[in-house]
Amino acid sequence: MTEVTSGGTLYRTYSATCAGIEVVRVTVEVSITPGIGLFLVGLPDNAVRESLLRVTTAMQRNGYAVPGRKTVVNMAPADIKKEGSGYDAAIAVALLAASGQILFPEPEDCLIMGELSLDGRLRKVRGILPIAVRAAEMGYDRVIVPRESVQEASWAEGVRVFGVSDLQEMALVLGGGEAASAFEVRGRKYRPVEKVSGCDFADVAGQPFARRGMEIAASGGHNVLLCGPPGSGKSMMSKCMASILPPMTRDEAIETSMIYSVAGLLRDESGLLTSRPYRAPHHTASPAAVVGGGVRAMPGEISLAHNGVLCLDEIAQFPPSVLDVLRQPLEDRKITISRARYKVVYPASFMLVASMNPCPCGYAGEDDGRCTCSPSMIQRYRARISGPLLDRMDLNINVRAVDSASMSDSMYRESSRDIALRVARAREVQRRRFAGDGIYANAQMQPSHLQKYCTVGEEESRLLQRLADSYGLSARGYVRILKVARTVADMSGSEEIKTVHISEAAQYRFAENV
């Protein structure tokens, strides 16, 4: 919008920034009045302050003139710190339109994003996907992005997306008409892609009890802890979890891809992650790397695993400072990163798949007497994982050493594809059940869902009470047994939770070595 008065010219364009995966509108105002100088205000960081030099150089190299009068560029709202180089294009358009060098008749319905190189080309920036997706909700009809980012932006619904390579193409799009239509990108139809994993459960020897537990965990989205000696297949089964999970729905894919877009990790040519993420940080990872943080409050591993799997192999080797910060995200399924001036919230709804040895040497509980650890050593080792974190594990699975007979026995070597079909059927039952509730798996149920979907009869209630009394179950442990029992019932095709379902859920809750 242009305002011309006797004192000068005022022009506005619109851009945006991301706070987590939420989007904040940024208004770029350019005022040209009598005087000299070029000024940028509105709480910019170093990258934004440098944008004036990039923008003016790009303008000059493309045959445009820098306004010769006093020019003030304001970025509103002024109380939000502006970070990154994504505002370059919006600033350039505001300067060119305010000085009358290009025509931009309808700036109010257009959102502009992109970094400018010195020769006027537009470069990809972070956060294009969430900005494009939220644009329609913010009242915009058009989104103009760098051509490198059109694959991301094309997943947005309710807005017209234009991809441009440089300032010259930008001017054509802003002018509208037939010239602009050549740069418009059509919307995309979502097609889920089956996860291609390097691991298959057919490669795991024996372990029928552990296999069943992993299938239950995948069917309901439950957290699982595998405990057993070296070479028993814990790590391989953890890696195989990704191969039996169902493909993401469109909404899940969009939300997960938003996080990757903000982190600058969206490398897929389609501009969207279509298979569930699998993240396996090393045990030397810092708390900030795992939960998120840093100067710009970037997402960590738990958010990058959103709607997928977070694998912590040898969980007892992780520092307690890392494990303790997992407690709240496991409960709330989100993480809040607080800074002095602001806070950022990232989704973090993931399946935690962890593995560990039962003791420092790894052989406690084995019948061959190979364990060389004293009781105090074993106690200190297991104490590295706090009680509250263990209480948040839905299934605790003891994995025994594989004997020679199981090595060659093909009886339990069912493929991931066969298991995935059963998991998909159970997930479909849950999808229909929770339609409209904002969740998609039993593990995500809140108290209101438990009252509605996990009612039990008198016999089942008595069994739950006996388990609570015998094992000293916490309220959280009681609820998690009920959720796992609901999943077992779904897998068996039962609408009601029976004692057999509760019994199976309970045997995976109480592991002797954990």
| Per-residue pLDDT tens over the stretch 339-364 | 877 889 999 999 999 999 999 999 89
Note the residue count of the chain.
514
Q: What is the pTM of this model?
A: 0.92
Q: Which domains does the chain have, with CATH numbers?
A: 2-185 (3.30.230.10), 201-438 (3.40.50.300)
243 within 8 A of 420, measured Cβ to Cβ: yes
Q: What is the pLDDT of residue 7?
A: 58
Where the chain has pLDDT below 50, the residues are 6
Q: Interhelix angle for 458-471 vs 499-507, to 10°?
A: 20
Per-residue pLDDT of 417-450, as tens digits, reads 999 999 999 999 999 999 989 899 999 999 999 9
- Rounded CA separation 123/130 (Å): 17
Q: In which element (H, E) is residue 452 found?
A: helix 447-453
Q: What is the pLDDT of residue 12?
A: 96
Q: Residue 125, exposed/middle/buried by CB under 10 A (0-12, 13-18, 19+)? A: buried
- The mean predicted confidence, pLDDT, of the chain is 91
Alpha-carbon 211 to chain mean position? 27
Helix (H, G, I), strand (E, B) or coil at 18: strand
Q: What is the pLDDT of residue 274?
A: 86
Q: What is the pLDDT of residue 1?
A: 55
Which whole-number Å values give the CA distances from 107 to 74, 78, 132, 325, 488, in the listed order?
A: 16, 20, 16, 45, 55
Question: Which amino acid is residue 435, in one-letter code?
Answer: A
Which residues 6+ apart lie within 8 Å of 115 measured at CB?
54, 85, 86, 88, 89, 122, 123, 124, 125, 146
Per-residue pLDDT of 91-118, as tens digits, reads 999 999 999 999 898 899 999 999 999 9
Question: Which amino acid is residue 151, in one-letter code?
Answer: Q
Question: Which amino acid is residue 467, in one-letter code?
Answer: L
Question: Which amino acid is residue 217, in one-letter code?
Answer: A
318-355 burial, b for 16+ CB within 10 Å, e for fewer? beeebbebbeebbeebbbbbeeeeeebbbbbbbbbbbb
Alpha helices in 309-410 (DSSP H): 320-324, 327-332, 375-382, 387-391, 404-408
Three-state secondary structure along 247-261?
CCCHHHHHHHHHHHH
Q: What is the pLDDT of residue 400?
A: 87
Helix (H, G, I), strand (E, B) or coil at 30: strand
489 within 8 A of 371, measured Cβ to Cβ: no
Which whole-number Å values give the CA distances from 280 to 86, 204, 227, 311, 512, in the listed order?
A: 31, 19, 17, 5, 26
Question: Which amino acid is residue 169, in one-letter code?
Answer: E
Q: What is the pLDDT of residue 54?
A: 95
Which whole-number Å values give the CA distances from 196 to 131, 217, 240, in the listed order?
A: 30, 20, 11
Per-residue pLDDT of 237-261, as tens digits, reads 999 999 999 999 999 999 999 999 9
Q: What is the pLDDT of residue 197?
A: 62
Q: What is the pLDDT of residue 6?
A: 45
Residues of the chain above pLDDT 70, percent: 95
Question: Which amino acid is residue 8, in one-letter code?
Answer: G
Question: Which amino acid is residue 222, in one-letter code?
Answer: H
Which whole-number Å values give the CA distances from 512 to 127, 202, 385, 388, 463, in the listed order?
A: 46, 27, 15, 17, 20
